[in-house]
Amino acid sequence: MNFFNLSSPNKFQKFSKRIYPWVSYGSVMFLFIGLFFSFFKSPPDYLQGESVRIMYIHVPAAWLSLQIYVVMAICSFVSLVYKHSLADIISRSCAPIGATYTFITLITGSIWGKPTWGTWWVWDARLTSELILFFIYIGHMIVSNSYEDYRKGDKNAAILTLVGIVNLPIIKWSVDWWNTLHQPASIMKLDSPSIDSEMLTPLFFMAISFFLIFLSIMLTRISTEIIVRKIEIIKSNF
C-alpha cells in the first residue's frame, strides 16, 4: 500500500472507514485491560497511597495533550508551505480532541494535587504552561471557525499553532528549568524509568487505549470535515 495515496481526502476517507472498527474495538479492549491493571494489580504508592491511581489517566492524557499538538503543528506547517487540504482538515479535527485531553490533564491533576500537595491549584510553571496550552487549543478552534471562508480560518489557525509550539518545550522541561511543586519526569527519561513495573504496566495499557481513542475520534472528525467541505463545494458550484 502506498501511503502517499492517503494524502487524497477521498482515499483517506476510504482507508479510515476500513481501520475505524479495529481502532475503536482496540481502544475499548486496551481500556479494560488498563483499568484491570490500574485497580486490581497496581499496589498503592508508599507515599501517595491510593491517590496514585489517578496517575494512570493523568499521565497518558498529558502525553496526548502534547502529542496531538505536535501533529497539529506538523499539519499546520504542511498546510502553510504546501497548501495541502488534508493537513488543514487533520489540524482542525485534532484541536477539540487536544483541548479535551488537556482539560482532562488539568482537572485530574488538580484532583490529584489536593490529597498530595494539599491544594487544588498552584501557579507553578508546569501547571501554568499546560493551562496556556489549553487556551491555545481553544484559540485554534475559535480562529478556525471565525471566518465564512474556511481557508482563511485554516490559514490563521495554522499560524497560531506554529507560534504556540514555543510552549511545548516549556511544558516538557519546566520541571527541570524551574523549582516547581510538580514532580520531575519519572517515565520519559533518558535512563530507565524510576517507577515500578507494577505501576508501569497499567500506565502502558492506558496510554495505548487513550491513543486509540484519540485516533478513533480523529478519524470520525476528519470524515465529517471532508463531507462538510464537499457540501461547501457543491453549494458554491450551483
Partner 1 sequence: MENFLTFLNSDKYITYVCSSYLICFFGLLFLKISSHIKEKKAIKEYTDIKKKYES
Contacts (CB under 8 A) with partner 1, residues 152-211: none
* Distance, CA of 166 to CA of 202 (rounded, Å): 31
Point out which span in 47-55, 140-148, 159-167, 178-186 binds partner 1 (CB under 8 A): 47-55
Chosen residue from 5, 50, 185, 194 binding partner 1 by CB under 8 A: 50
Chosen residue from 43, 81, 142, 169 binding partner 1 by CB under 8 A: 43
Question: Should residue 221 be labelled a site residue for partner 1 when binding is judged by CB under 8 A?
Answer: yes
Q: Which of 75, 52, 97 is nearest to 220 (CA)?
A: 97
Residue closer to partner 1 (CB basis): 114 or 189: 114
Residue closer to partner 1 (CB basis): 42 or 76: 42
Contacts (CB under 8 A) with partner 1, residues 78-137: 96-97, 100, 103-104, 107-108, 111-112, 114-115
Between the CA atoms of 92, 151, 20 and 210, what dihedral angle is there, to the nearest 10 degrees?
A: -10
| b/e burial code for range 44-67 (CB count within 10 A of at least 16 → b) | ebeeeeebbbbbbbbbbbbbbbbb
Question: Should residue 46 be labelled a site residue for partner 1 when binding is judged by CB under 8 A?
Answer: no
Q: Which of 155, 98, 162 is nearest to 130 (CA)?
A: 98
Minimal distance, residue 85 CB to partner 1, in Å: 16
The partner residues of 45 in beta bridges, in order of sequence, read 49
Point out which span in 11-19, 142-150, 178-186, 219-227 binds partner 1 (CB under 8 A): 219-227
Lookup: cell for 199: 505501576
The gap from C-alpha 29 to its chain's centroid, in whole angstroms, comes to 20
Residue written as cell 514532580? Answer: 183
Which positions touch partner 1 (CB under 8 A)? Answer: 39-44, 49-51, 53-54, 57-58, 61, 96-97, 100, 103-104, 107-108, 111-112, 114-115, 213, 216-217, 220-221, 223-224, 227-228, 230-231, 234-235, 238
